[in-house]
Amino acid sequence: MSQQREAYEETLGRLRRRLRTLYQCTNALLQAESEPALLRSICEILVAGGEVRLAWVGYCEDDAEKTVRPVAQAGDGVEYLERLKTSWGEMELGRGPVGIAVRTGHACWVDDIRTDPRFSPWRAAALARGYASCIAVPLIAYEASRGAVDLRATLNLYAAECSAFDEHAIEHYTGLAASVAYAVTALRGHLAEDLASGVTALRARAERKRAEEALQQAREELAHVTRVTTLGELAASIAHEINQPLAAIGADANACLHWLAADRPDLDSVREALTAIVKDGLRAGEVITRIRALLTRSSVARGPCDLTGVIRDVLPLVGPEIRRHGISLEMSLAPNLPQVTGDRIQLQQVLLNLLMNAVEAMRAVPPVRRRMVVRATADHRDDGPWAIVAVEDAGVGFSEAEAPRLFEAFYTTKPGGLGMGLSISRSIIDNHRGRLWATANSDHGATFQFALPGMP
Ligand SMILES: Nc1ncnc2c1ncn2[C@@H]1O[C@H](COP(=O)(O)OP(=O)(O)OP(=O)(O)O)[C@@H](O)[C@H]1O
Ligand SMILES: [Mg+2]
């Protein structure tokens, strides 16, 4: 059991690191000002992520040796690179992962540098540096409408462990390489825009738009992953919650069998037990339906959304956790709450984050103080009605110095925290033209609330 847990923690740790790396790369892609600077920061981020010891990018040259020339690098092993000769041609120096990746257009990896014959020209130097496995990923992005954007370059990574690049890692780095290819093309387009005329400018803009779309998609995937992680954390208490109606169903069904076996069956009792079975079945089913909805990859289309319903959707998921910590929950839902336009799943996710944070903030305070209020109110302003949802807790609270950092990505004070909950929640609410903010309570704890414009 503890071994299983260790393995789980390790996977989770790796996923967290990868998410963090991906997030930083996405930011670098968007902020890049020049091609060399972009390639360098991608290498630096990958090495800082801890999964690889050396990262470099090589460009294909059209000289006689068909050289692959390093243009950016980070990590330990710079002199390894200085001496390394690699080619994209068919000769011996082109039969390693770099050459294969360039010629095939697909990632090529070596699980064990000690034994893989394709790596023999570089083996001694690589082993001396402590590299055990490596991968070369071509900087190519495929696009249905225009074919491939191929930079004729590879991103090359070296790890200290054998078989460091499994199926998930390959998928992760291939996706990253595609984003880099787009971003570089956009930068080149941008440069051309400064130099030449309108056509190039238009193309550059299209490339940039494409990069922005990729970024948006990465954001959505990040939101999805954190949603799944949160649900994973809740799994144990939710399972317990579902077990209760299931146990009751078992007991009632047994009683029915017993009554039916009698000479003169007590049909009234049977009917009553069956009604209870139906009710318990629905209760368990409802929780499962809500979990399913939150686990779906895509968010749903925007539509009229009633926030009281969103609150009711989420409470059964956090309810068990609230009870487990002996927290008293008060609800105050205004009856005249205006409807808002929104993506129900995303709004559920925001509320789930706020509620989980409130529960987590109260774990460390004495049980008598554990009180939480969920409040929904209407506010009629000059620009129309607004709906406000607040989660108030009596937990550890935050200091004035912490306040500006709460919504920063990866800011966390929890040992197992990712620090993405509030940052994602804020971007969701911003996207809904609303506002999410935090205030310290006058006595204990904090209040996190969001306001959304109501439908006229
Ligand atoms: N209700 C709260 N009371 C006090 N501090 C809070 C509260 N909610 C958030 N915080 C602080 O803000 C930080 C960031 O919160 P956020 O939800 O973004 O990340 P997290 O909860 O640490 O991790 P996760 O990504 O798993 O949600 C928390 O680590 C905590 O320090
Ligand atoms: Mg959180």
Residue 386: strand pairing partners: 379, 453
Q: Is 397 in the pocket of ligand 1 (CB under 6 A)?
A: yes
Domain that holds residue 260: 223-298
Domain presence at residue 112: yes
Angle (CA) 18 24 25, round 5°: 85
* Same domain assignment for residues 285 and 331: no
Domain presence at residue 396: yes
Atom of ligand 1 nearest to the CA of 361: 3
Q: Tell me the pLDDT tens digit for each residue of 308-331.
A: 999 988 888 888 889 889 999 999
Q: Is 406 in the pocket of ligand 1 (CB under 6 A)?
A: yes
DSSP per position, 387-436 = EEEEEEE-SS---TTTGGGTTSTT---STT--S-HHHHHHHHHHHTT-EE
Q: How many residues does the chain have?
A: 456
Q: Is 231 in the pocket of ligand 1 (CB under 6 A)?
A: no
The predicted pLDDT at position 248 comes to 80
The predicted pLDDT at position 201 comes to 54
Q: Is 160 in the pocket of ligand 1 (CB under 6 A)?
A: no
CATH number, domain containing residue 449: 3.30.565.10
Last residue of a domain, one of 298, 323, 351: 298
pLDDT more than 70, % of the chain: 87
Q: What is the CA radius of gyration of the chain?
A: 28
Q: Tell me the pLDDT tens digit for each residue of 202-256.
A: 566 666 777 777 766 766 666 777 777 777 767 766 776 677 778 788 888 888 8
Domain presence at residue 360: yes
Last residue of a domain, one of 281, 298, 315: 298
Mutate to test the pocket of ligand 1, among 363, 412, 424 (most ligand atoms within 8 A of CB): 412
Amino acid letter for position 125: A
Q: Lowest-confidence range among 15-24, 136-145, 216-225, 366-375?
A: 216-225
Q: What's the whole-number mean pLDDT along residues 270-279?
A: 85
Domain presence at residue 204: no
212 vs 158: CA distance, rounded Å: 29
Domain presence at residue 340: yes
* Better-scored residue on pLDDT, 306 or 278: 306
Q: Point out the ligand nearest to the CA of residue 424.
A: 1
* Same domain assignment for residues 27 and 94: yes
73 vs 56: CA distance, rounded Å: 4
Q: What is the mean pLDDT of the chain?
A: 85
Q: Is 19 in the pocket of ligand 1 (CB under 6 A)?
A: no
The predicted pLDDT at position 160 comes to 95
The predicted pLDDT at position 150 comes to 87
Amino acid letter for position 311: I
Q: What's the whole-number mean pLDDT along residues 424-453?
A: 93
Q: Point out the ligand nearest to the CA of residue 412.
A: 1
Residue 436: strand pairing partners: 450
d(CA 96, ligand 2 centre) in Å: 45
Pair type for strands 328-333 and 371-381: parallel
Total domains present in the chain: 3
Mutate to test the pocket of ligand 1, among 357, 362, 398, 399 (most ligand atoms within 8 A of CB): 357
DSSP per position, 290-307 = HHHHHHSSSPPPPEEE-H
Protein residues placing their CB within 5 Å of the ion ligand 2? 357, 421
Q: Tell me the pLDDT tens digit for each residue of 325-337.
A: 999 999 999 999 9
Domain presence at residue 215: no
Nearest to 48 by CA among 24, 69, 12: 24
